[in-house]
């Protein structure tokens, strides 16, 4: 931590800062510049936070130097992690050596539609099924999901196809029932900073797919992962799904740079979601290719047997020729960037 | 609603759209342009949404024309509303004719600190006390609030000072206990799209202070208010507290334009929070003045008897000369823009 | 300047940084932390920049501590400046003690329209006339301004009304002819980083009104002012005109916080432009009030005798009742925040 | 164009709009909704713009439906274009069938450094040399480039290596001398809306590389290209180089979605610049791979023989192992997405 004094700070102001820092057992290194004095702090960060150094007289600014997250950092866990999803003996890996394809309908609407979408996903190469039973919607008048009935459909389709299931949970009170039916809990973009939900998910004993808040910095996102990890659950997969920018041509801007940035600083796996980022079907295939090439550990997309009748996000769901093109990219491109296919490792974790 | 066809759409594509619209009881007016055809839809919006028009062949774009919110709109409720906060006989108004000043500590830390902050607030002219018992924090290692103990302190301080209390609730499971102790429930910026919490707050029978998500559009914010209103609770006060922009000099950018924009479209009262927007003590007074002058129905700020020891947001808390300057602005400026003081109307609602 | 070493930096890496810094005459203070080492640099910033410290082995990050601007900073020029605009004996001040109102048509369309708009501005209390002869337009098919003919009209209207004129210059080649006809040169938002134009304006011998780039940080804006100042021209007035954000309800978001932020760090005067920020007539009056109350040294707005026929930005031009309401705010509100009217000081500078 | 009337618009208001539209030869189709009336306009867009419809009584909003650009649109030029860069007989293509690699130093510092960087670029597979003689710098105290001397060095190095040269021009007055020495003119991100410079570049008779303004929408960017095209020059290559967002981990956010979005709407080629987007060397290779995979027609990067001594942007320049890794990606990945190498087509255009 570095304390920057203002140009008109006095020697007493500097001494007061040093005294405070030493009072909590830290060390303070003073560098007097021509215009300003800076003070480098060495010691326990948490105790420095409690000093409220920014409120002290003569202090212009305080810069944090280290990362605020610990359990999800590569600092003490240099090797990147693999998270295994699914029932024992059939677990699917998401991690640094493989490429994992996740697909399914945005919302579970019926047993037939879900099964059909799962079959589409599976023939396109997907090894994990996605599908929403609880839908957080901007409008209280929009379809809010089938709830427990949707979870039962997902469990049935999972049994029928052998695909593990990831599904969103939007309320801490629903965590137990979702964890009972699904293989992985998804925390959506709007709930990334819903700390009670993060903690409940951390307690649930299942891997968690944590989407980036559409307006969260990478650091805030990793702090959200830290909330889950702090409950003893390190099986967290991050999902970049687009950030809010000034550009109106796409619903959000897929931040592919987040993939190597996260991989440099955290050991957690990271995948991308091009469907929700773009909100446009015609961008899903090129953005999926970009995600694979930038080094993502997986890609998750919306598929639907009949987008015209979809109750949620129909315009971004793939089918037909688009899905075949994506299947081809998913089959070929990972190898070109040095990755094996996750389906070749199913059941090994 | 307007459907814009792509330049290469065929007559069949246009006919298919018209047929779909008429199939749900709507009317479709076709305007053939030189390059494109556009179709104006008249009828029930919800039924049009289910058509997924954007997925139809030949459709380039779909523009919504009306506002998606209903209960909070001025459309059918032209007069702006006043929300009354507090116990019967002592209610404080927040609305179009008055100016209301809310102040208190960011977090409740102890009975003494809370009482002292409340006295500071009161002598500066505040008529409603703010204070947090549950704190949503970016870091799981930061102070998370005193919980129920904090609520009890707030209730005691409210009784001692006569100030009604507004306090944040961060989890739907805590709504009953918070509603029992507080006069108004606050939904914070990180929970603006936590729809389960919005609904629980809507059911609680107390007025709600709904902060704008730091990255929410005004429309999304009003849709969040609609979630509360839909539960039968129209006593919602909106609070602009800064939006996330590229400018690093302030923590967030206070969007004062939101005040007249909201007032033009919704009947709900709206106040501003300059402390959390700026994150810097030296901006709180000028931004409060800006908020009053732009026409806000109130201002809410952080005060703390000893910012150096504050467990939360010390750098933005006012005291001493700054608070006196704010007290003066709060006393004089509302009149210059044609508003009475809320404290002259306490107990009339 | 502070150099932050990465956790795995070696003692040799640290020594190499120290050696480089000392090689250009600087001093380096090393603070070894538990996880990282930080090095505080004291000496000439420019020489440190040439070291490219960020490229050295083991360096994780480099933080600049001082402001990069010098001539426009309050550091060595603590008193805020007043800029005087107009012919000798009739100069109008823009500065910390007064409030200055600037108004006029977005574009000069004809002698009649300009004179009429100037009369409107003057009766509303304006002491400086604005009007564009060169218009930077997003579309090459839009009206681009009358050029030299427009400048002549402005000079005539200035002579007829006694109002000094500020007008935009968009190309370095036009600076001489604009400086010949106008009393103040305006650099528009799209040209804030057109460094050749900034330098030409700095050489022209007239005061400059420098609009903030709609996506420029305050620091970048002050660096643009530094380009002008470096040519020996310190008569620069800054103009906040809205920044680009995700909010679609307004054309841009007026960043009122920029006013006190700039005033804390630079001695230059700063005014606000609510017309271009909002792009909506109904927001001009409330935002003007907010600008006055936050402490701006002036406000500049669009007026037009007949917005329906305006060749540029008709939807934001004021007339009639709106203009009367603004005139009233401009007359009364400055006093409430402790400012005199500029027109009481005309000719004193 | 669609005119949306406000809910309280009268029949006279609607009639007035219709009359205005018909007055300039357009047709107006009126659709009366339950709450609002909308009017679809058919006819000449430019003449509608002059009506200032937004200022008319009862008008709530005006939506543009067609794209505002013409010459750069695929509407009347369905096939995507190839731009050929360089001297007759040695021209290098940038277009839909090939992949082109451009590399070189950020700034020309000396003949030796430039030649060495060009050799590095060439052995890594580059077929076009980049290098700056005029540098737009945020600080007036930073290195501003060698000017004409730099252009001469570039011309010499081009002759020595056979690589065509692209270099930035920052002032309309410099366009002739730059066009004399270089094979392609670059318009930088800060000058994307410098319309005089765009027009001068359009007149220069050389291909233009037009970088996206770091805060420009795709539509504004295509309008800037339209300024060049309007001067009779359709040899424009677009370059996505990152947009300004709230994320601080990267200097800017590379918007890879812009590639397919532009390709869907404009016939112009588009390349990406990962070096300036990220500002970090470690992201250049993954982002280059993302750019190739998303379908960019080329990639442009900074290389420098000795980043430690670079006068500009040293931290993002590649050399050694990083450059070899990029060379490999550039050699292999285009084929995986169905593209030939530009160097196999040199001299065919």
Burial (CB < 10 A; 0-12, 13-18, 19+), residue B27, is: middle
Name the residue among A264, A230, A226, A234 with its Cα closest to residue A69: A226
List all residues 6 or more positions away from D261 whose beta carbon is below 8 Å from its beta carbon: A249, A250, A283, D218
C35 vs A contacts (CB less than 8 Å): 66, 75
Question: What is the band of D2 on the pLDDT scale with cuts at 50, 70, 90?
Answer: confident
Virtual CA dihedral for C110, C114, C116, C119, nearest 10 degrees?
Answer: -160
C260 vs B contacts (CB less than 8 Å): 282-283, 286-287
Q: What pLDDT score does B66 carry?
A: 73
List all residues 6 or more positions away from D306 whose beta carbon is below 8 Å from its beta carbon: D113, D319
List all residues 6 or more positions away from D203 whose beta carbon is below 8 Å from its beta carbon: D175, D231, D232, D233
Q: Are strands B2-5 and B37-42 parallel, antiparallel or unpaired?
A: antiparallel
Tell me the backbone φ, ψ of residue B62, rounded to 5 degrees: -130, 120
Which is more confidently placed, C50 or C60?
A: C60
- Give how far Cα B101 sits from Cα of A269, B126, B317, D206, Å: 48, 5, 15, 63
Cα–Cα distance measured from residue C172 to residue D169, given in angstroms and rounded to the nearest whole number: 14
Residue of A4, A65, A66 with shortest CB distance to C65: A4
**Among A130-139, C39-48, C216-225, where is mean pLDDT lowest?**
C39-48
D272 vs A contacts (CB less than 8 Å): none
CB A153, CB A108: distance < 8 Å = yes
Cα–Cα distance measured from residue C313 to residue C130, given in angstroms and rounded to the nearest whole number: 14
**DSSP helix/strand/coil, D217:** coil
CB C175, CB C146: distance < 8 Å = no
Distance from CA of D284 to the nearest CA of A (A): 10
- Give how far Cα C275 sits from Cα of B172, C103, C285, C287, C317, Å: 43, 10, 9, 9, 7
Which pair of structure tokens corresponds to residue C175?
A: 């600076």
List all residues 6 or more positions away from B327 whose beta carbon is below 8 Å from its beta carbon: B123, B124, B125
Mean pLDDT of D84-109: 95
Q: Please spell the DSSP secondary structure of A212-234, one letter per residue.
A: PPTT--HHHHHHHHHHHHTTT--
Complex ipTM: 0.91
- Give how far Cα B133 sits from Cα of A16, A180, B213, C330, Å: 31, 33, 20, 43
Chains B & C: contacts with CB separation below 8 Å: 117
Share of chain D above pLDDT 70, in %: 99
Q: Is the pLDDT of residue B143 over 90?
A: no
Write the pLDDT tens digit of every residue in D220-247. Answer: 999 999 999 999 999 999 999 999 999 9
CB contact under 8 A, D196 and C190: no
Mean pLDDT of chain C: 91
Name the residue among D205, D243, D263, D201 with its Cα closest to residue D226: D201
**Which residue segments constitute the domains of chain D, with CATH numbers given?**
2-63 (3.30.70.1140), 83-345 (3.20.20.70)
Name the residue among D102, D98, D100 with its Cα closest to residue D121: D102
Q: What pLDDT score does A348 carry?
A: 87
If you ran DSSP here, which 8-state letter would residue D233 be given? Answer: -
CB B128, CB B346: distance < 8 Å = no
Residue ranges of chain A with per-residue pLDDT less than 50: none
If you ran DSSP here, which 8-state letter would residue D288 be given? Answer: H
CA C8 to chain centre: 44
CB C306, CB C116: distance < 8 Å = no
Cα–Cα distance measured from residue B183 to residue B92, given in angstroms and rounded to the nearest whole number: 11
Burial (CB < 10 A; 0-12, 13-18, 19+), residue D272, is: buried
Question: What is the band of D37 on the pLDDT scale with cuts at 50, 70, 90?
Answer: confident
Which pair of structure tokens corresponds to residue C198?
A: 């900034």
Nearest-5° Cα angle at C142, C141 to C148: 110
List all residues 6 or more positions away from C43 whose beta carbon is below 8 Å from its beta carbon: A34, C21, C24, C25, C26, C27
CB B252, CB B279: distance < 8 Å = yes
**DSSP helix/strand/coil, B228:** helix
**CB neighbourhood size of C320 (10 A):** 9
A193 vs B contacts (CB less than 8 Å): 136, 138, 190-191
CB contact under 8 A, B257 and C289: no
Share of chain D above pLDDT 90, in %: 67
CB contact under 8 A, C286 and B215: no
Residue linked to tokens 């935002």: C287
Distance from CA of B329 to the nearest CA of C (A): 8
C63 vs A contacts (CB less than 8 Å): 2, 63
Q: Is the pLDDT of residue C66 over 90?
A: no
Residue linked to tokens 């084929």: D335
Q: What pLDDT score does A54 carry?
A: 85
CB contact under 8 A, B194 and A194: yes
| E strand intervals along B36-183 | 37-42, 59-63, 83-85, 92-94, 98-104, 128-130, 165-168
- Give how far Cα C27 sits from Cα of B67, C33, C57, C67, D290, Å: 62, 19, 19, 19, 42
Chains near B (3 or more Cβ pairs under 8 Å):
A, C, D
Write the pLDDT tens digit of every residue in B161-206. Answer: 999 999 999 999 999 999 999 999 999 999 999 999 999 999 999 9
**DSSP helix/strand/coil, D90:** coil
**CB neighbourhood size of D97 (10 A):** 13
Cα–Cα distance measured from residue B44 to residue B24, given in angstroms and rounded to the nearest whole number: 9
- Residues paired with residue B4 on neighbouring β-strands, in sequence order: B38, B61
Distance from CA of B325 to the nearest CA of C (A): 11
Q: Which residues of B touch A (CB under 8 A)?
A: 46, 49-52, 54-56, 68, 136-142, 170-173, 190-191, 193-196, 214-215, 220, 223, 226-227, 230, 244, 307-311, 314-315, 317
**DSSP helix/strand/coil, C243:** strand
Share of chain C above pLDDT 70, in %: 99
C55 HSE (CA, 13 A, CB side): 23
Which pair of structure tokens corresponds to residue A255?
A: 């931040």
Mean pLDDT of chain D: 91
Which is more confidently placed, B31 or D89?
A: D89
Q: What pLDDT score does D227 carry?
A: 93
Residue of D245, D257, D264 with shortest CB distance to A287: D257
CB contact under 8 A, D243 and A259: no
> In which region does residue B187 sit, left (phi positive, over 0), alpha (psi from -120 to 50) or beta (all else)?
beta
CB A134, CB A146: distance < 8 Å = no
- Give how far Cα C233 sits from Cα of C83, C132, C228, Å: 11, 23, 6
Buried b (16+ CB within 10 A) or exposed e, D225-240: bbbbbbeebbbbbbbb
Chains near D (3 or more Cβ pairs under 8 Å):
A, B, C
Which pair of structure tokens corresponds to residue B207?
A: 């007025």
Mean pLDDT of D50-75: 85
Write the pLDDT tens digit of every residue in C270-319. Answer: 999 999 988 888 999 999 999 999 999 999 999 988 877 777 777 777 77
CB C68, CB C167: distance < 8 Å = no
Q: Which residues of A touch D (CB under 8 A)?
A: 215, 217-219, 243, 245-250, 253-261, 264, 277-278, 282-283, 286-287, 289-295, 332-333, 336-337
């Amino acid at each position: 931590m570095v304390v920057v004094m203002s140009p008109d700070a006095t020697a007493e102001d500097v001494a007061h800062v040093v005294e405070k820092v030493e009072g909590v057992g830290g060390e303070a290194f003073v560098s007097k510049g021509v215009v300003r004095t800076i003070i480098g702090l060495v010691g326990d960060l948490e105790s420095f936070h409690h000093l409220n150094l920014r409120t002290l007289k003569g202090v212009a600014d305080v810069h944090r130097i280290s990362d605020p997250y610990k359990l999800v950092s590569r600092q003490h866990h240099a090797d990147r992690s693999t998270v295994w999803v699914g029932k024992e003996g059939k677990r699917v890996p998401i991690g640094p050596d493989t490429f994992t394809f996740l697909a399914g309908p945005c919302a579970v609407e019926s047993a037939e539609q879900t099964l059909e979408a799962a079959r589409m996903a599976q023939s396109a190469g997907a090894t994990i099924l996605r599908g929403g039973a609880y839908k957080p919607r901007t409008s209280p008048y929009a379809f809010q999901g089938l709830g427990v009935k949707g979870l039962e459909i997902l469990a049935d389709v999972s049994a029928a196809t052998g695909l593990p299931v990831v599904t969103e949970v939007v309320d801490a009170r629903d965590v137990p029932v979702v964890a009972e039916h699904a293989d992985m809990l998804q925390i959506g973009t709007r709930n990334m900073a819903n700390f009670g939900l993060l903690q409940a998910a951390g307690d649930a004993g299942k891997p968690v797919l944590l989407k980036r808040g559409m307006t969260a910095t990478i650091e805030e996102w990793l702090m959200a992962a830290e909330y889950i990890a702090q409950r003893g659950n390190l099986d967290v997969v991050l999902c970049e799904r687009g950030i809010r920018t000034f550009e109106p041509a796409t619903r959000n801007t897929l931040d592919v740079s987040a993939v190597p940035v996260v991989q440099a600083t955290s050991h957690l796996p990271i995948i991308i979601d091009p469907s929700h980022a773009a909100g446009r079907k015609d961008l899903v295939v090129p953005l999926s290719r970009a995600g694979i090439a930038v080094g993502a550990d997986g890609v998750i997309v919306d598929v639907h047997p009949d987008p015209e009748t979809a109750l949620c996000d129909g315009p971004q769901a793939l089918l037909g020729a688009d899905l075949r093109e994506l299947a081809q990219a998913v089959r070929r491109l990972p190898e070109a960037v040095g990755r094996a296919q996750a389906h070749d490792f199913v059941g090994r974790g």
